[in-house]
Amino acid sequence: MNYDFSDTLARFSALEFTQWLINSNLIKENQICLLCNKEMLLSIDTSTSDGVKWKCTYNQCTKKRTTLSIRTGSWMANFKIPLKSIIKSIILWSRKLTFVDISKAVQISAPVYIRLRNYLLSKISDYYIENPVRLGGPRVIVQVDETKLNHNVKSHRGRGPIRPAWCLCITDTSSQPATGFATMIPDRTAATIIPIIKRVVRSGSIIHSDEARVYQSLKQNYEHSSVCHKYNFVDPITGVHTQHVESWNNKIKNSIKKVRGVDEDKREDFLKEYMFLEKFKNSAFEQIILLLTVN
């Protein structure tokens, strides 16, 4: 729907678009006049940016023709840009476009886009609270690795990161491309890493990793094999490798480069956003719309 809906959106009349918003549960399907307690009706109004508003048409109402914005009672009331611009921005965000690219296609300022994206991220965070990531299963191979998200100084030139930003990544190889999980970790100790793996990886899974000492205790709960990267990317005898999780790591790093870095306090939200857009690669727009519905 992502790629076709932009064209449909452009063709919508104000009333058709309003009806789509109602059908998608993004705005309320009715409003009650606060004066006469009667149901209001949708009415075309070209003087407003939305082109449609709620109007009281009850003849005996002392304030007949009282109007309300179609945004009333929805999260969209917090944004003053055209509703089509909001939806188009979400469509382009769901395709992983940067703000620079989105701003070329939509009349949206950086502060407004940041507020919109932060709202989307809050909904994604709620989603993962209700739907914690679980990977693997009986005889399913899961790969685990840590990666540093900030840069290394090369040839002793430039200033190194003040504090290394380490991320733990886990991928489930039973799907192609591999399904993954990523989270920031304060350190690379077993006390930090092993509980996360136990929470995310289902029992009965087979875990593949490098030979870092931190993973050795996994043998107590999982079938665990490792590969020595000092000599081989793929173990020539067992065939064990971590290429799926390393690919996942690289895609995360490339996404960070694409947006020219992520602030330290935003990294966890960024990873959840990345996981969400990867998980729903072909339906991210539809999925985020489901999370944005009005109460």
Give tens-digit pLDDT for 92-140: 999 999 999 999 999 899 999 999 999 999 999 999 999 999 999 999 9
pLDDT-based confidence at 163, cuts 50/70/90?
Answer: confident
Report the run of H or E that residue 43 belongs to, with start and end.
Answer: strand 41-44
- Alpha-carbon distance 62 to 60, whole Å? 6
pLDDT-based confidence at 295, cuts 50/70/90?
Answer: low
Specify the amino acid at residue 214.
V
Mean pLDDT of 51-57: 94
- Is the pLDDT assigned to residue 146 strictly greater than 70? yes
pLDDT digits (tens, 9 = 90+) for 188-217: 999 999 999 999 999 999 999 988 899 989
Q: What DSSP designation does 149 have?
A: -
List the alpha helices (DSSP H) in the chain: 2-11, 14-23, 83-94, 99-105, 110-130, 190-200, 243-258, 267-279, 284-291
| Mean pLDDT for all residues in the chain | 89
User: 0.75 exceeded by the pTM?
Assistant: yes
Residue 183's closest CA among 271, 63, 71, 289?
A: 271
Cis peptide before 177, with omega less than 30 degrees from 0? yes
Cβ(56)–Cβ(38) below 8 Å: yes
In this prediction, residue 1 carries a pLDDT of 45
In this prediction, residue 154 carries a pLDDT of 42
Where are the domains positioned within the chain? Answer: 2-130, 141-152+161-258
List the alpha helices (DSSP H) in 52-206: 83-94, 99-105, 110-130, 190-200
CATH second-level architecture of 141-152+161-258?
2-Layer Sandwich (3.30)
In this prediction, residue 127 carries a pLDDT of 97
